Structure 1
Amino acid sequence: MKSIAVFCGSSAGNDKVIFQDSYNLGKILAKRNIKLVYGGSKLGLMGQVAKGALDNGGEVTGVIPGFLKTKEVVHPNLPELITTKDMHERKLKMHDLSEGFIALPGGFGTFEELFEIITWAQLGLHHNPIGLLNSNAYYDELIAMLKTMVRKGLLKKANFDLLIIAEGAEELLDKMANFQPLPVPKWINKEQT
């Protein structure tokens, strides 16, 4: 993988481990020569992952909708910043620029991005690995809920397995490098979405 989109919180939260893990992910991406594609903010966990990459000589592209592009939000030191008209275009651009996806801890926006990109994979619209960095057990309850969905027959195990889960960035990236996508469904194509 040459580029990974990272979805994460624009808030810093109150967990120092998660805050440090966000910086560490950016640092590891830079050390592995993997371009970081992210939401373009200087704030919160988003700012930390960008800082980790930039501090270690990494390549970083921010993608931000115009309405969020203010001096208080946008990262001022990005080598590349793409401005989109809205949130939907932002996600499409991040998808187009990336060969993999990682969700760090975050709120509703992070969940929405994660579930949309994994739904696209389930439908065969992309075949890129999707990682969930379960920093400091942040996603334990979500993982348990997904397993309940499988048990109740509302989520196929093969689709659950599209989500690559690890507690550390190095382990997650190693697992993502070995990802094998599902066969493409024959009943849907990109124009139908």
Structure 2
Amino acid sequence: MKRIAIYCGSRHGNDPKYAHAAAELATFLARQGIAVVYGGSKTGLMGVVADSALAAGGEVIGVIPEWLTQREAEHPGLTELHRVTSMHERKALMAELADAFIALPGGIGTLDELIEIWCWAGVGAHSKPCLCYDVDHYWQPLFDLLNHVQQEGFAHGERQIERVSSTAGLASLLGLS
């Protein structure tokens, strides 16, 4: 495992626990020698992830659409920054660069990225792990919906979104030390 994509909010959310979890996760990955691939912004949880991984000596690769730099200022201190033309290109490049995908709390963009990459796994486009970093049960409503989809007979494929709530759980799931 060389690189993990982290999907997360461009805002901090209403509780400092989200920023704390983002910093903890990014620091843990950096100390494991795992590079972070993320959306390239310096705002919100994205900025926390980048700053924390960099402070821990990690490699951070950002991927940001040119037009989005007007709304979410790009991070100036990244190891690499890829400027792309569209969200589709961003998601495809992040998928190519990463060996696994983790969603921290975030908004509709985070949910979009998580669901799309998980869907790609479900149809066989990749076999990389897809996870939710479940800070204080943030992702429980999503898992309730996924259970409903399963119960109603609309789910297919054996690839599931995994759920972890700590770096220890992540290490165990991904076989990290």
Task: Output the amino acid matched with 2:26.
Answer: G
- Cα distance in structure 2, aligned partners of 1:141 and 1:105: 12
Structure having the higher Rg: 1
Unmatched tracts of structure 2, length 5 or more: none
Deviation at 1:69, TM superposition (A): 2.5
CA distance 1:43–1:155, change in 2 (3 Å) = same
| TM-score under structure 1 length normalisation | 0.86
In 1, are the aligned partners of 2:123 and 2:157 still within 8 Å (CA)?
no
Partner of 2:169: 171
Return the alpha-carbon distance in structure 1 between the equivalents of residues 174 and 143 of structure 2: 18
Q: How many pairs does the alignment contain?
A: 176
In structure 2, do the counterparts of structure 1 residues 151 and 98 end up closer, same or farther at CA, with 3 Å as the change threshold?
Answer: same
CA distance in 1, matches of 2:20, 2:53: 13
Name the aligned partner's letter for residue 132 of structure 2: L
Query: 2:4–2:101: 8 Å Cα contact kept in structure 1?
Result: yes
1:66 equivalenced with 2:66 (yes/no): yes
Secondary structure at the aligned position of 2:62 is classed as strand
| Distance in structure 1 (CA, Å) of the matches to 2:141 and 2:124 | 27
TM-score, structure 2 normalization: 0.94
| Structure 1 unaligned regions, length at least 5 | 179-193
1:145 Cα deviation after fit: 1.4
CA drift of 1:71 comes to: 9.2
Which deviations, in whole Å up to 9, do the C-alpha atoms of 1:19-60 show, x marking residues without a partner?
100011110010110010000000001111111101100010
Question: What is the DSSP-based 3-state SS (H/G/I as helix, E as strand, rest coil) of the residue aligned with 1:69?
Answer: helix
Residue identity in the other structure for 1:77: G
Counterparts of 2:43 and 2:133 in 1: how far apart (Å)? Answer: 19
* Residue identity opposite 2:81 in structure 1: L
Paired-residue identity, %: 41
Asked if 1 retains the 8 angstrom alpha-carbon contact of 2:12 and 2:45, the reply is: yes
Once residues 157 and 135 of structure 1 are traced to their aligned partners in structure 2, the CA distance between those partners, rounded to angstroms, is 26
8 Å contact from structure 2 (residues 63, 81) kept in 1: yes
Cα deviation, residue 18, structure 1: 1.2
Give the AA of the match of 2:168.
Answer: E
Contact 1:18 1:105 in 2 (8 A): yes
Aligned twin of 2:100: 100
Amino acid corresponding to residue 12 of structure 2 in structure 1: A
State the match for 2:117 in structure 1. Answer: 117
Q: Tell me the distance in 1 between the aligned counterparts of 2:89 and 2:158.
A: 29
Which one is further off, 90-99 or 142-151? Answer: 142-151
Give, in whole Å, the separation in 1 of the partners of 2:107 and 2:72: 20
Describe the SS at the equivalent of 1:64.
Answer: strand
Aligned equivalents of 1:139, 1:106: Cα separation in 2: 10
Q: Does 1:2 align with 2:14?
A: no
Q: Which 4+ residue blocks in structure 1 deviate beyond 4 angstroms?
A: none
Q: Are the equivalent residues in 2 in contact too, given 1:118–1:130 (CA < 8 A)? A: yes
Counterpart of 1:189?
none
